[in-house]
Amino acid sequence: MVSATFIFKPGEYDAEFFALDKAIEESNDRNPEFLGKDSWSNNERELHCVVYYFKSMKGVADLRNIQAHKTAKSQYSRWYKGYQVIISEISRSYGDGTIEHPTPAMDY
């Protein structure tokens, strides 16, 4: 299992941003590799974060190959004041089972 963490400082959004964002989300939802996502905000630092979870690196590659994603990435400075992407391999996930999450408890 892998995650793609997208940390960004938002700028001004317009109709094209929302259309591209919707197209990316709809493509992810159809991707059998996609497991789900989390989103977070850090208001002190004016940062937002979306963590996408995939079964494998193929899912991350599928995300990169979505035409709407390619278009958005090529024009990111229209909507973001900066960004950072972190790709991680998930080797362990655990909890008390009360929070539904895309990464189920994995006992290794």
Q: Are 1 and 60 in contact (CB under 8 A)?
A: no
- The two counts, helices (H) then strands (E), for the chain are 3, 4
Instruction: Tell me which architecture the domain covering 2-89 has in CATH.
Output: 2-Layer Sandwich (3.30)
Domain ranges of the chain: 2-89
**pTM of the shown model:** 0.89
Question: pLDDT (tens digit, 9 = 90+) per residue, 23-67?
Answer: 999 999 999 999 999 999 999 999 999 999 999 999 999 999 999
Question: pLDDT (tens digit, 9 = 90+) per residue, 68-90?
Answer: 999 999 999 999 999 999 999 99
Q: Are 50 and 37 in contact (CB under 8 A)?
A: yes
